[in-house]
Structure formats: C-alpha cells, structure tokens
Amino acid sequence: MNKKEISAGGVVYRTGEDGQLQIQLIMDRYGKMTLAKGKMEAGETIEQTALREILEETGMVGRIVEPIDIIAYTYQHAEFGPVDKEVHYYLVEAEGGDLQPQIEEIKGVDWYTPAEAWSKQQQDGYDNNDEILRTGLSKLGIYV
C-alpha cells in the first residue's frame, strides 16, 4: 500500500465593489499561477482543510459553496517512496479577511476578472488545474 496524502483548496471568488465577479489566483514560489491549497491536518475534515489553507495562504475567510472535483496522482517521496495524493477542490466564496499572501509559501495573491484568471491559468498555470478552474467558473455561470 502506498502512503496516502490529502490536500484541499479552492477556487475562491467574490463580487467586487463594481458588482463584477473576481477570481483569486496565487503566484506560487516557482512563479506559477495556482489555487490556494494545502495538506490536511489531524482531526480536520477536508472542508476545514480547504478553508484553513485559503485563510493561511491568502488571508481570506471563505465559505464553501460546493465541491468542484478531486485531482488524484502519485508522486515519489524521498523517504516514503510512492505517495498517492488527492487534492480536493471546492468553490469558495470569500466572505471577509484581508488579502495578504503567506510569504513563506507563496509569492503573491490577487483578484482577477474571470477572463484574466483563465488567461493566466492558460499561460502560467498547472495543466491539471485547467479543469478545476473551468468547472469552478462554469458553476458561477461563466463558460471559457
């Protein structure tokens, strides 16, 4: 049996002051555009993990609207060998907090129009996030 690791995160959105939808993207330490996520801690539900990681990485307090999807893959860990990883993504509405990147973990975080967010994902994102962002946007009535 491979070791199993669960992470969770979300496609975080809010309605801006102009009434327009905004999507949150993170620039990770490798300079790639991505979504807030992180590893589950003991005693947490997967939903709690997603909201805690979003708060820690971006400073935003979120509310889970609905699940988006799960990305599953296996990677090689130096110590444990093959690890089966599951990343659970949710559609998350930002309800408060102050946008502030966790500088130990990421380079930056910002809000984008859905079109900008999709363009940045296409240019500088991770391929396996394409479907997550596309599904998240479609749940918000935006089709790319």
Q: Where in the chain are the domains? A: 3-139
pLDDT value of residue 93: 98
Instruction: Indicate if the pLDDT at residue 105 is higher than 90.
Output: no
Q: Which CATH topology does 3-139 take?
A: Nucleoside Triphosphate Pyrophosphohydrolase (3.90.79)
Dihedral in degrees, nearest 10, Cα atoms 37, 43, 48, 54 = -30
User: pLDDT averaged over the chain?
Assistant: 96
Question: Per-residue pLDDT averaged across 48-56, rounded?
Answer: 97
pLDDT beyond 90 at 31: yes
Q: What's the pLDDT band for 100 if we cut at 50, 70, 90?
A: very high
Indicate left, alpha or beta for 95 from its phi (over 0: left) and psi (-120 to 50: alpha). Answer: alpha
Output the pTM of the full model.
Answer: 0.94
> Hey, which residues does 89 pair with through a beta bridge?
9, 69
Whole-number pLDDT of residue 127: 95
Using alpha carbons, select from 36, 33, 53, 35 the residue that is nearest to residue 44: 53
Mean pLDDT of 107-121: 97
pLDDT tens sequence across 62-78: 999 999 999 999 999 99
Q: Is residue 141's pLDDT more than 90?
A: yes
Among the listed residues 56, 59, 49, the one whose alpha carbon sits nearest the alpha carbon of residue 14: 59
